[in-house]
Amino acid sequence: MGSTSAENNGTGDTHPTGVGRRDLIRRSAALGLISVPAMGFLSACASGGGEEQEKATQGKKSEKNPLAVNETAPMEFVLFDGGFGKEYAEDAVKVYEKNFPGAKVEFSATQKIQSTLQPRFNQGNPPDLIDNSGAEQMDMGVLVGKKQLADLTPLLDAPSYDDPGKKVRDTLRPGIVEMGQFDGEQVWILYYAYTVYGVWYSQKALEALDEQYPQTWDQMLAVCEKAKKKGMAGWTYAGKYPYYIPFSLYPMIGKVGGREVLDAIDNLEPNAWKHPAVKACFEAYYELYRKGYVLRGTPGLDHIQSQTAWAQGKALFLPNGSWVENESAKVIPSDFGLTVSAPTGLDSSDKLPFGTIWASGGEPFVVPAKARNGAGGMEQLRIMLGEASSKNFTSKVKSLTAYNGGTDGIELTPGLKSGVAALDKAGENVVNPRIQDWYVQLQKEKIGVSGLGEMMAGRITPAEAIKKIQGFADEAAKDSSIKHYKHQ
């Protein structure tokens, strides 16, 4: 996003064990959501070493303090400084300070989450609340596997901020709780935002070409050819962070071959990447490069540069997440007609209908197991999941939160409105690949940079990219140092 994008990115969806994963995700689609994201880049955590900090003593539990926060204990909150900015969090911190006037809150925002915080995890003195997002996101699977996160069940079972008669968990969008689970009932992550991933474009630019959004790949190539003749590239993307390409490529694979193809990829199954749907979609995207429909120089652009070129009308289509509206607000013209669509499919033989889209929670907030004031970290999240903080976030950053509501009286921006419409169109056909939060390093560095990035730059063929990526997935599947997760 503002850096959250390449630095950002949304994450996953649900409970690998049990409870109707797909049903939850499908239902979550119906709600109109949108937004952020949170992807991670490098990651790895080790445990141990250093002086562990002393835990704050428990406070007095009351109706206004259901988590028994120590009213004078300091609380430290580190936010990812991305596309959503930091104002929404600073506003929520003021509420915490008002509720606990004797407590000092140390708030900071950084894009260097891993390099700043990994050493502190290893030394046993992490902050109390972290927005673990961005290009330097710490690997969530590793954090969970090494038992470095606190179970957020006490927060979810606490009374909600606005209505003591409702638990926090009962105020959240369907699927959010399950997304924070990895291999059991415990919830390790609270995804604060909701992201719609897809193909973003200017409705004005499309109309100037006298075209509609293409539903088949032949139509896509025809639209790109028309754009090229008018001096406009068909596509651009974050070439330095090519894990943005899956934001539209993965749901296309799911549309063409069915959800089970994405599940097999998430499960690191042998030959998952060799499925005909993967091959067909890789070849379709490669055609964009081969026919000269990708903006010249794209492989050298970061997320901001590619979004800026796109906003300036140099390219028509951009794979991205719904944080792009806020992140690029300064460069998107007022008459741009910002619109998101589900990915174009191949043809009528696709398994799922046009409209199949990827949507999921983003901005993963965590409370470290060794936090000094974990109850304070959870209370800060409880405040943020209240209606006032949620509305504040939506109105300031053009994105919805995990809180199921909070839009009354807020005029939806073009991108937000478009995202809600895309979700309505998708209905039950919402997919949520988990590979980006189960295996961060594999997704970003290997599949993204070494595989898709090289293919879209024309340095390897689709067949070579598939062979390479399957090799990376096989290595990860055999690596006993990696915690493995599976769809049930």
pLDDT of residue 51: 61
| pLDDT above 70: residue 6 | no
- pLDDT per position as a tens digit, 358-410: 988 889 999 999 999 999 999 999 999 999 999 999 989 888 899 987 777 88
Three-state secondary structure call for residue 183: coil
> Among 431, 446, 470, where does a domain finish?
431
Look at 39-43, 176-180, 417-421 and tell me which has the smallest mean pLDDT: 39-43
- Segments forming the whole domain that contains residue 305: 198-357+434-478
Residue 424 lies in a domain: yes
| Cα diameter, the chain | 70
9 close to 321: Cβ distance less than 8 angstroms = yes
| pLDDT above 80: residue 15 | no
Residues 139, 145, 146, CA angle at the centre, nearest 5°?
90
- Token pair, residue 242, equals 């090519």
In this structure, the answer to whether residues 113 and 25 fall within a common structural domain is yes
In this structure, the answer to whether residues 151 and 281 fall within a common structural domain is no
Residue 11 lies in a domain: no
pLDDT of residue 407: 77
> Among 414, 431, 448, where does a domain finish?
431
In this structure, the answer to whether residues 113 and 218 fall within a common structural domain is no
Residue 13 lies in a domain: no
**Residue in the structure block whose two tokens are 């197991």:** 369
Which run of H or E residues covers position 105?
A: strand 105-110
Residue 487 lies in a domain: no
pLDDT of residue 138: 93
| pLDDT above 90: residue 458 | yes
- Token pair, residue 40, equals 């991670």
- Token pair, residue 5, equals 């994008």
- pLDDT per position as a tens digit, 441-453: 999 999 999 999 9
In this structure, the answer to whether residues 118 and 208 fall within a common structural domain is no
For residues 218, 219, 223 and 226, what is the CA-based torsion angle, rounded to 10 degrees?
70
Separation of CA 134 from chain center = 9
C-alpha–C-alpha distance, residues 73 and 69, integer Å: 8
In this structure, the answer to whether residues 305 and 439 fall within a common structural domain is yes
Residue 425 lies in a domain: yes
In this structure, the answer to whether residues 115 and 154 fall within a common structural domain is yes
Question: Which alpha helices (H) appear in 2-102, and where do they start and end?
Answer: 21-29, 87-99
Look at 35-44, 84-93, 443-452 and tell me which has the smallest mean pLDDT: 35-44
In this structure, the answer to whether residues 317 and 209 fall within a common structural domain is yes
Segment 269-292 shows an average pLDDT of 98
Domain count, the chain: 2
pLDDT of residue 475: 98
In this structure, the answer to whether residues 339 and 382 fall within a common structural domain is no
In this structure, the answer to whether residues 46 and 79 fall within a common structural domain is yes
Backbone angles phi, psi at 386, to 5 degrees: -85, 165
User: Could you tell me the pLDDT band of residue 20, with boundaries at 50, 70 and 90?
Assistant: very low
Residue 294 lies in a domain: yes
160 close to 385: Cβ distance less than 8 angstroms = yes
| pLDDT above 90: residue 78 | yes
User: Could you tell me the pLDDT band of residue 486, with boundaries at 50, 70 and 90?
Assistant: confident
35 close to 362: Cβ distance less than 8 angstroms = yes
C-alpha–C-alpha distance, residues 317 and 241, integer Å: 17
User: Could you tell me the pLDDT band of residue 285, with boundaries at 50, 70 and 90?
Assistant: very high
Mean pLDDT for all residues in the chain: 88
Look at 38-42, 161-165, 217-221, 411-415 and tell me which has the smallest mean pLDDT: 38-42
231 close to 316: Cβ distance less than 8 angstroms = no
User: Could you tell me the pLDDT band of residue 273, with boundaries at 50, 70 and 90?
Assistant: very high
241 close to 443: Cβ distance less than 8 angstroms = no
In this structure, the answer to whether residues 126 and 206 fall within a common structural domain is no
> Among 408, 431, 454, where does a domain finish?
431
Compute and round to an integer the Cα radius of gyration of the chain: 22
Closest CA to 9 of 142, 140, 171, 177: 140
In this structure, the answer to whether residues 379 and 286 fall within a common structural domain is no
Backbone angles phi, psi at 403, to 5 degrees: -70, 125
C-alpha–C-alpha distance, residues 318 and 202, integer Å: 10
Segment 227-240 shows an average pLDDT of 98
Residue 488 lies in a domain: no
Residue 410 lies in a domain: yes
Q: What Å distances lie between residue 59 and 105, 106, 484, CA to CA? A: 16, 19, 38
User: Could you tell me the pLDDT band of residue 309, with boundaries at 50, 70 and 90?
Assistant: very high
| pLDDT above 80: residue 36 | no
User: Could you tell me the pLDDT band of residue 45, with boundaries at 50, 70 and 90?
Assistant: very low
In this structure, the answer to whether residues 313 and 167 fall within a common structural domain is no
Assign residue 180 the CATH number of its domain. 3.40.190.10
pLDDT of residue 478: 97
Q: Please, is 183 exposed, middle or buried when counting C-beta atoms within 10 Å of its C-beta (0-12, 13-18, 19+)?
A: middle
